Structure 1
Amino acid sequence: MRDKNVFAFSRALPRMSWSPQNLYNLWQRCFTGKLSDSQFERTAKTLFQQRWISKRLVRAYHGDHINEKIFKKWYLPSTLPEVIPKKSAKHDDTSTLAKWARRQDDVDRIEKLRQEENNTALAPVGSLMFAEVERRIDVFVFRCCFAHSVYEARRLVIHGNVHLNGVLHTNANTRLAPGDMVSVDPSAIRFLQYPESWKKNEDMGSTSQSETATTNKESVPLNGQESQEIPVSEASELSLSSNSELQTNADADASSVKNEAPQSKSEIPPGQPWLYNKSLTPFVLPDYAAPFIFIPAYIEPSFSTCSAVYVRHPTARPGYSEIPTPYDADGEVVRLAWEWYAKRRPRMRSRRQLAQMPEDRQKL
């Protein structure tokens, strides 16, 4: 099982998941001692160790369910633009010579050029190394908020709960093309199902109501006197008029209750979770979902039909990257990870290897 023990607290590797354990690991990477593992400004680690640690971190989040050899062969782009900003040459003493010659104008000009160079940010193209992973249909289903994790999204595809352009699709390795529409069976989406605890309370409530109804049939009060046991046929005749009034009042109460939707789970009475929103589709968010509910810009979802369209490929511009990642899109971790893969590219692919390539709809 590939997703077994992926939320180990000792490793604290963030994954594509909304589970509370993953949120705790993300908190460890951001605010605890685990943060120092990905900061290499002052470290005794070698360059090889820095690159390997960076590769391990980004691969844990971006497609850890993909085999490493398959990722390097089919999901890693061949080239990327330079992600390291150009800096002044080493031992450049132009500014020092200008100060020694007391040419203050030259000193100010050199400092201004350096400041402009530092302020001019390049596009975080390093994060685009995972653009092919974002095109996978299982990752796409997770980004659309139709699944709690990428592992669950993969199972939805394999088990036949996902349609691609209206046709049943069970290959989770397929890469989408712009314009493809993906639909998910609503009965397989956990957001649209009541939790099991609510259903158990409902069953218990319905059982108690049936017992109460049976008791009421056996004893019927007569004109405010003490209740006595009478046959069911006589009881029905005596209470016919009163039942009609009670039914009218019950219908009025039910209509008023039906129009009122609960604001939270606490307002739903125990044993009757279906009473308030029988006419509505239930939508139950997972715990701690607030930091994760977002839709990337290259996805156009329709939650009323449980479908989404892959509009275009993800892009990047200075200071902005459309690929979601828990790390800085133009940070040192992503750069070192790209340097790791840049030195370990797969060999030239033969025709036999090209025949084993996963489905890529962009090239059809």
Structure 2
Amino acid sequence: MPRTKKIHALKRPKLRQSWSKFNLYNLSRVTTPPAANKTFFQQKWLAKSMLRSYHNPDVREGTWTRMFDRRLPAVVPMDHRYLAKYDGSEMASGRGMGVDKRPQKDARGNEVRGPEKTPYMHMTFHPLERRLDTAIFRALFASSTREARQFVVHGWVKVNGKKMIYPGYQLNPGDMFQVDPERVLYATGARKIKKDRAESSQELRRKAEEKAAKKEKAEEDRAVGAAVEEEADDGKVEITAEEEDSATDSGKAYSKELKALLKRATNILDDSKRDLSGKRQQELRNFRKDVKSTFSKLRGMEESDLQETTETFETALAEILTKVPTDVDLPKNEQRAAAESPSTEPLPSNPQLQNKPTLDIHRARKDAELLQAALERARANPVDTSKPYATPWTPRDYMSAFAFIPRYLEVNQNICSAVYLRHPVARPGLAEVPTPFHAETMALGFNWYLRRR
């Protein structure tokens, strides 16, 4: 869609089944259209236009008209004790139909006066929820119905184990559909800014905002220093080296990470020297030497190289510490004390406490466990420039506002598959067809398709 169309589309809010930021803005300002100066025909036509712009506009109007059903599915809560007592013959004697008449309760647990109304009109477009492309969008496997339609046409979707290339396929209760996981990661993940780089546009935007904030803070510090310089007797206040680095050095964040790694390796080497083998000690010393030699090259390195270097050092330290033994020959009471000790703070400078092997082993084991978990996360979500989406994978912007799954779908995000359990229905206080429009707008649209004009 051209940029100009997006801008002009904001003048009149038209909602789409999409995770776009423009769609989210339109969603925040959609209202019930005024009906004071319009005829009933005009009200129905305007409501129909608004509803069809959201509920899968890729389906032709003639196709949808043939799919339209004036019978709106709904369910009534029934009392199981009543159903067990009677067999249905009592309906002729006027005893009712087994409707559950227990008092309703709201979200806070307070009783609500009278039974909740069933939003029948929200079920107007329930036949469209059976379509395969709509079900893929509802299951959060695509960022829009058009993208879901593209996945189906290109052969990335299977229904009951067989490839399905028809987006209008009508799902039946019990059907299982599956989308290729790589397509799902691409559809729901952050976009890459360049083909040969792993960063996303939102990551670069976040870094630019942080850099601008640091620059603004440095300018404020300079202004404060100038004011102090004018007021002080000696007239000189120098900017510290740390403030100067924050304003000039773009790799300060990565420098902090490298310093933290160096400090961690030094602490482990000093505190657990007696429990580490000579080979492990040599590996830790070489690791410290490599990190120290990297500090002199930070200013001349690009940001992508800095990130890759930091991740390489993190992985190297994690692999070294995974080889640290977790069990040693200690008395049982000392092992129990080490396991129950909640403290992970640095040891004090008292040499008598530093000589205790129990605390040293506990600290080394905790560091090894934390870095092992970090290594597992890095392996599960690695940096890969060959992927069409940004890595490590992060959800795209504005996804959380649309992240909900209807009740009639059972979704497994691990294998990107879902089961269409049943057809959507309406029940007291709830309609299972998601829609952002008011019940009045839905009723007008339903009356339009009844063809009673």
Please tell me whether the aligned partners of residues 133 and 145 of structure 2 are also in contact (alpha carbons under 8 angstroms). Answer: yes
| Alignment-mate amino acid for residue 53 of structure 2 | A
Matched, 1:246 2:260: no
Secondary structure of 2:398's counterpart equals coil
Structure 1 counterpart of 2:447, from 310, 332, 339: 339
Provide the C-alpha distance between the structure 2 equivalents of 1:300 and 1:38, rounded to a whole number of angstroms: 35
Pair 1:17-2:18 in alignment: yes
SS at 2:193 equivalent: helix
Any conservation in 1 of the 2:15–2:54 contact (CA below 8 Å)? yes
> Which residue identity is paired with 1:58?
L
Aligned partners of 1:22, 1:173: CA distance in 2, in Å?
24
Matches within 5 A, 1:315-334: 315-328=425-438, 331-334=439-442
Q: What corresponds to 1:58 in structure 2?
A: 51
List runs of 5+ in structure 2 lacking aligned partners.
75-112, 200-280, 291-312, 320-367, 383-391
Aligned ranges 1:105-120 → 2 under 5 Å? none
1:279 aligns with 2:380: yes
Secondary structure of 1:277's aligned partner: helix
- How far, CA to CA, are the matches of 1:308 and 1:276 in structure 2? 26
Cα distance in structure 2, aligned partners of 1:297 and 1:145: 13
User: Are 1:311 and 2:312 counterparts?
Assistant: no
Mark the CA change 1:201 to 1:301 in structure 2 (over 3 Å): closer, same or farther. Answer: same
Q: How does 1:173-184 map to 2 (within 5 A)?
A: 173-184=168-179
For 1:45 and 1:163, how far apart are their aligned partners in 2? Answer: 47
1:298 deviates by 0.5
2: CA distance between counterparts of 1:139 and 1:132? 10
| Distance apart, 1:120 and its partner CA | 5.0
Contact 2:287–2:317 (Cα < 8 Å) also in 1: no
Deviations 1:13-48 (A, max 9, x none): 11111110111111221xxxxx3x5243xx111101
- Following TM superposition, where does structure 1 have runs of at least 4 consecutive aligned residues deviating by more than 3 angstroms? 4-7, 78-82, 118-122, 191-195, 197-203, 241-245, 247-252, 254-261, 280-283
- Once the two structures are TM-superposed, the CA of residue 183 in structure 1 deviates from its matched residue by 0.4
> In structure 1, what is the equivalent of residue 108 of structure 2?
none
3-state SS, counterpart of residue 196 of structure 1: coil
Distance 1:171 1:202, change over 3 A: closer
Give the percent of matched residue pairs that are identical in Structure 1 and Structure 2. Answer: 35
How far residue 197 of structure 1 moved from its aligned partner, in angstroms, is 3.3
SS of the equivalent of 1:291 reads: helix
Partner of 2:124: 129
Aligned to 1:289: 399
What's the CA shift string for 1:95-114, capped at 9, x where partnerless? xxxxxxxxxxxxxxxxxxxx
Distance 1:153 1:81 in 2: 26
Which of 165, 169, 172 does residue 170 from structure 1 map onto? Answer: 165
Distance 1:125 1:276 in 2: 46
Distance, in Å, in 2 between the alignment partners of 1:275 and 1:200 is 25
CA drift at 1:162: 0.5
Per the alignment, residue 26 of structure 1 pairs with 27
Residues 253 and 199 (structure 1), Cα distance of their counterparts in 2 relative to 1, 3 Å cut: farther
Which runs of 5 or more structure 1 residues have no equivalent in the other structure?
30-34, 83-117, 204-240, 262-273, 346-364
Could you list the per-position Cα deviations for residues 76-102 of structure 1 after superposition, in whole angstroms to 9, with x for gaps in the alignment?
Answer: 1143489xxxxxxxxxxxxxxxxxxxx
Give the direction of change, closer, same or farther, for the CA distance of 1:192–1:68 in structure 2 (3 Å limit). Answer: closer
Q: Which residue of 412, 419, 422 maps to 1:302? A: 412
Distance in 1 (alpha carbons) for counterparts of 2:46 and 2:412: 39
- Larger fraction in helix: 2
Partner SS state of residue 38, structure 1: coil
CA distance in 2, matches of 1:244, 1:79: 73
Query: What code does the residue aligned with 1:316 have?
Result: A
Letter of the 2:12 counterpart = R
1:51 and 1:337 in contact (8 A); partners too: yes
Q: Do the aligned residues in 2 keep the contact of 1:15 with 1:62 (CA within 8 Å)? A: yes
* Contact kept in structure 1, 2:191 and 2:396, CA below 8 Å: no
Counterpart for residue 195 of structure 1 = 191
Deviation of the 1:284 alpha carbon: 2.1
Residues matched between the structures, number: 248
Which residue in 1 is equivalent to 2:139? Answer: 144
**1:181 alignment partner, SS class:** strand
Name the amino acid aligned to 2:446.
Answer: W
Q: Any conservation in 2 of the 1:191–1:285 contact (CA below 8 Å)? A: no
SS of residue in 1 equivalent to 2:23: helix
8 A Cα contact 2:158 2:178, kept in partner = yes
Separation in structure 2 between the aligned mates of residue 179 and residue 334 of structure 1, nearest angstrom? 29
TM-score, normalization: structure 1? 0.60
- Whole-Å separation in 2 of the counterparts to 1:38 and 1:134: 25
SS at match of 2:125: helix
Cα distance change of structure 1 residues 179 and 80 upon mapping to structure 2, 3 Å threshold: closer
Residues 336, 296 of structure 1: CA spacing in aligned structure 2 closer, same or farther, 3 A cutoff? same
Give distance in 2, aligned partners of 1:147 and 1:192.
Answer: 6
1:120-141 Cα shifts (integer Å, max 9, x gaps): 5542122222111001000000
Distance 1:202 1:312, change over 3 A: closer
Task: Report the CA distance shift for 1:193/1:64 in structure 2 as closer, same or farther (over 3 A).
Answer: closer
Aligned partner of 1:104 in structure 2 is: none
Task: Tell me, yes or no, if structure 1 residue 77 matches structure 2 residue 69.
Answer: yes
Amino acid in the other structure paired with 1:246: N
